[in-house]
Amino acid sequence: MAQLPPGIRFITSFSRDQWYRAFIFTLTFFLYASFHLSRKPISIVKGELHKHCAASHEVELSSYREYAAQIQSVKKLSNASQCGWEPFDKNNYKQLLGALDYSFLCAYAIGMYLSGIIGERLPIRYYLTVGMLASGLFTAMFGLGYFCNIHNLWFYIMAQIANGLVQTTGWPSVVTCIGNWFGKGRRGLIMGIWNSHTSVGNILGSLIAAYWVSTCWGLSFVMPGVIIAVMGIVCFLFLIEHPKDISCSCTPSSSSKAFLNGASRFRVQMPTLNAKETCKSQDSEMQHLLIDSENSMTSQNSSTVGTGEGRHGTSAISFLGALRIPGVIEFSLCLLFAKLVSYTFLFWLPLYITNVEHLDAKRAGDLSTLFDVGGIFGGILAGLISDRLEKRASTCGMMLLLAAPTLYMFSTVSKMGLEATVVMLLISGALVNGPYALITTAVSADLGTHKSLKGNARALSTVTAIIDGTGSVGAALGPLLAGLISPSGWNNVFYMLMVADGCALLFLLHLIQKELRCNADHTLFKEH
């Protein structure tokens, strides 16, 4: 018998279940990357919506309004004035651009809380497909303002609000799906790699938007809109919500090795019961809080996880019940400030580079992708460290502690030249996005898939929506504050970001203390 080709041997070395998990991992990766791809164009196009134009005395017209009116009389699909695209060509352009960011992010923050409630009552595949198609429509709608020569501020604000609402369908859906398919073993590393879809989407969105920004900025929105709509169709055709939907085996259980709730992790096979008393108090508290929710389920028994009927028949944990899970509030408030920093960079970094390095919009957009490259490594590093140390909160705290002085260095060193800016973009991206990535993925999945929930994916959707919804409040505030503060100097924006990092660390101190105390008790009794 002839020997099998190497490629076939490689394929057959993996089981059917492993191939399905790899497929879902890849599919959800690109599905959510398309969400971030469609959010990025606004930050790239800002430099084109407002340009540094000639001084008023160089324009030989009685007033700027007369000049704008004269330009408007010439019907063409290019920018309406030498200072940019009306109404963003005025001196208050930073406030107007900040209003666009705030409109999207405020709608996103409000919609995220509703998304968890709605999403837990609908099939993930349908819910996510509709959201992606609608996101494509409203992303392209912003770009149509260019082709239709629209200069009404409210048109662009309404497009941002609508897009912010429909994009909330993405995160709870993909996290719930990936949580269904992967157990807790090495979750930090797996989700750290998976969460790089955020940075990959930002990079692709920047490159696509930058390609057309100087010639036809409308396409910088239309093309990402088309891409996310196409990915929505792919989602409808291929997304599998749960392994049991195709009779795959259950995800590997880690209950026999370790328990992880996002705030602390401990071994359950320790022979000495007293050595774990401090850590177990948190576990017993969580189980007690979840008992009421379980008792309200109509037919719940020990085989709930083992049957498809049990999975679909369970009711979701209540909103208040999810808030009472130890660690949810602390991580949610931490994410509020961590996401404030991350989204300020997401929406304002290209404009900052344009002002400091005096580059055009395209080159600034390309350079800003280095921040997301650093974010990829930061997310993976955070997941790897948290798995190794078995401490989620301490890992986040360590990176937040390093991020604050790094931001100060960035504001100083970036003025010394392009090479220094490149290095600081990579370092800042890793330290800023590391905690953000860890909390929104591994921590959310840990808290939403506690063993007392008996595999209830609806609980995971609710917990994820609470954590990311709270973080999105910070994401809305960051760009708004940057727009208000930046006229007084970019240094003040960086001071604001450093304070936000300090606040994020402050909310984790209680959990970090618990983790360290648990580790000290474990070490002490192990020695005895």
Measuring CA to CA, which residue among 461, 477, 471, 475 is closest to residue 171?
A: 461
pLDDT computed for residue 33 by the predictor? 95
Largest CA distance in the chain: 91
Mean of the pLDDT values across residues 466-488?
85
> Rounded to an integer, what distance in angstroms lies between the CA atom of residue 451 and that of residue 284?
12
CA-based nearest residue to 378, from 420, 338, 418: 338
What are the phi and psi torsion angles at 212 (to 5°)? -105, -5
β-pairing, 258-260 vs 265-267, is: antiparallel
Range scoring the smallest mean pLDDT among 22-31, 81-90, 170-179, 290-299: 290-299
**Residue 36 DSSP label:** H
The answer on pLDDT for 302 being more than 80 is no
Handedness of CA 111, 403, 178, 310 (dihedral sign): negative
Q: Which residue did the predictor score with more confidence, 147 or 415?
A: 147
Other C-beta atoms lying within 10 Å of the C-beta of residue 295: 8
pLDDT digits (tens, 9 = 90+) for 165-190: 999 999 888 988 887 887 665 667 78
Q: Which helix or strand (DSSP H or E) is residue 366 part of?
A: helix 361-389
C-alpha span between 187 and 304 (Å, rounded): 23
Residue 202: what pLDDT? 87
Q: Quick one: tokens of 151? A: 């200069």
Residues 6+ away with beta carbon under 8 Å from 345: 371, 428, 429, 432
Ordered structural domains, the chain, with CATH:
6-248+314-525 (1.20.1250.20)
State yes or no: pLDDT of 432 exceeds 80: yes
pLDDT in tens, 433-471: 889 888 888 887 777 665 555 555 556 777 778 888 888
Span 90-106, pLDDT tens digits: 878 878 887 888 889 88
Contacts of 123 (CB under 8 A, 6+ apart): 241
> Is residue 112 a contact partner of residue 106, using CB atoms and an 8 Å limit?
no
DSSP state of 58: G
What CA–CA distance (Å, rounded) separates 128 from 122?
Answer: 10
Please tell me the total number of residues recorded for the chain in this structure.
528
Count of C-beta atoms within a 10 Å radius of residue 179? 27
Task: Kindly state the average pLDDT of the residues 28-52.
Answer: 88
Does residue 239 contact residue 27 with C-beta atoms inside 8 Å?
yes
Instruction: Indicate the pTM of the whole model.
Output: 0.71
Q: Which of 244-253, 346-355, 516-525 tops mean pLDDT?
A: 346-355
